Amino acid sequence: MPIADMPEAKTYLRRLREVLNEDKVSHCIFTAEYLASFAVSLGIDHDDAVAAGLLHDFCRCLDDSEMLDQARQFRLPLSEAQMAAPTLLHGPVAAETCRREFDINEEVYQAIYWHTTGRPALEPLGQALFVADFAEPTRKFPEAVEARARLRKNGFEDAVLYVAEMKAVFSRRKTVVDPNTQAFLLWLKTREKA
């Protein structure tokens, strides 16, 4: 089903074009389309998938001080990692902003909130957004190509585990590591064995 069939898609797109640059709007559209292409087979609501995909980076263009100001205004809990690298807050700040502006439901809120790092016990929509954001078809780096191939050939559980592993590897190369990335990976691995 095309994403434009989702009732609020036009409103979301109009607002995205006001707050994001062209590249990021395009990434949000590709994320929503890719996510919607496999979400329904996982039992996820199509319109929730479109909402989460389109809105997940709604606050991606705020600078560090705007991000921290917004987070404080929303009374979000701030971790050491987020204080040191405020970009890590773009998911939580977008979730709060979109809840106020668009009245998104709890599942969409949780998916947007945790899309960068994941977290233990993340719901299916959040896991699917985590994969789609990393592997949407305009992402050309080898790990994104591999994630798309795994989703196609091996299925969703293998793809989400692979993306979490790659994100943990990438995050260890950075100066600031968000512990939620590692915790999510551990949860997925433990769940695999259960």
* Residues at the contact surface with Fe ion, assessed by CB under 5 A: 57, 133
Min. distance of Cβ 192 from Fe ion in angstroms? 25
| DSSP sequence for 122-188 | --HHHHHHHHHHHH-TT--SHHHHHHHHHHHHT-HHHHHHHHHHHHHHHHHTSSS--HHHHHHHHHH
C-alpha–C-alpha distance, residues 95 and 34, integer Å = 20
Nearer to Fe ion, 33 or 133 (CB): 133
Nearer to Fe ion, 130 or 190 (CB): 130
Min. distance of Cβ 194 from Fe ion in angstroms? 29
Min. distance of Cβ 134 from Fe ion in angstroms? 8
Nearer to Fe ion, 48 or 133 (CB): 133
C-alpha–C-alpha distance, residues 116 and 127, integer Å = 10
